[in-house]
Amino acid sequence: MALTVLLRAVVLMFSARAVGSHFAHLRGALRVSLILAVVGITFFFIGIAVERASGNPLYNPVLSLVEFGLFFIIMSRCFKLSFKRTWAPFGAFLGISALEIVLAILLIRPFLIEAFIVPSDGMSPTIQPNDQFVANKIISPKRWDLVVYRNKLDGQVYCKRLVGLPGERLRFSSGTVFINDREETPPVLLAGRLHARSVEHPTGDWKYRDDETIALASNEFFVIGDNVERSLDSRYSGPSDRASLIGVVDWIYCPVSRMRLVR
């Protein structure tokens, strides 16, 4: 974020200088870049809130026009430029924004971070249906992390809590889990609730039962939803391959009332 603000400030400073602005110094450009970032973030969350409330994504183009109009006015006022001359820093700003989008598509999303939304309640109350969150693709997952992965049965992306790591032996007993015959201490939310089958729906196509040893291969991991009694996870579909792991959940960013760091 800080690097983006600085890069935009430098671009705005030189483009405003090129059309004769006497206020295009680095400190002023940094102030403009920071204001633009705050306005952009504000409109981002306004757009999400409007779409969630109305269910109509057509409001977003209108909000974008208002947002860019504010950007133009802010540059004009801060750099003391006429309407015609403001197009120089505004065009430079659009250019650097387009470059950032290209980098996000080609580099950030595939290799660094990606945003997701979960429609089901399998991770409630930790992640509620339709919460939006960011998964980090760089860090290595640890036990009890929230991970995003692609389910081998239906190919859909899910978020669950990582319980078993590659090569381990799991055993569910008396509401807890044993890893390699050693009892693990789960997060408080899961204490006493860990079973190989849903206690609400014990019959069905569950693959395991309590006190059964589950051996994970060297490329497999085992996940469970925080809504243990209802979640369809590795107890139902079996362990997942390491290759299906997408990332580790870093933070929930929407809705704003539930915004928080997760890891």
- Find tokens 């799991």 and name the residue: 170
CA atoms of 105 and 94, how far apart (whole Å):
17
Please check whether the domain covering 118-261 is classified as CATH 1.50.10.20: no
Q: Please say if the pLDDT value at position 229 is more than 70.
A: yes
Give CA–CA dist 221/118, Å, rounded. Answer: 20
So where are the chain's domains?
A: 2-112, 118-261
Segment 121-157, tens digit of pLDDT:
899 999 998 889 999 998 889 999 999 999 877 888 9
Q: Mention every residue, 6+ apart, whose C-beta is less than 8 A from residue 246.
A: 114, 135, 137, 147, 148, 149, 150, 157
Residues 44 and 157: their CA atoms lie apart, in Å, by: 24
pLDDT band at residue 61 under the 50/70/90 scheme: confident
Over residues 23-41, the pLDDT tens digits come to: 888 888 999 999 999 999 8
pLDDT digits (tens, 9 = 90+) for 62-105: 888 899 999 999 999 999 999 999 999 999 999 988 888 888 77
The residue ranking higher by pLDDT, 263 or 81, is 81
- Mean pLDDT of all residues belonging to the chain: 89
CB 151 within 8 A of CB 221: no
The predicted pLDDT at position 158 comes to 92
Say what percent of the chain tops pLDDT 90: 56
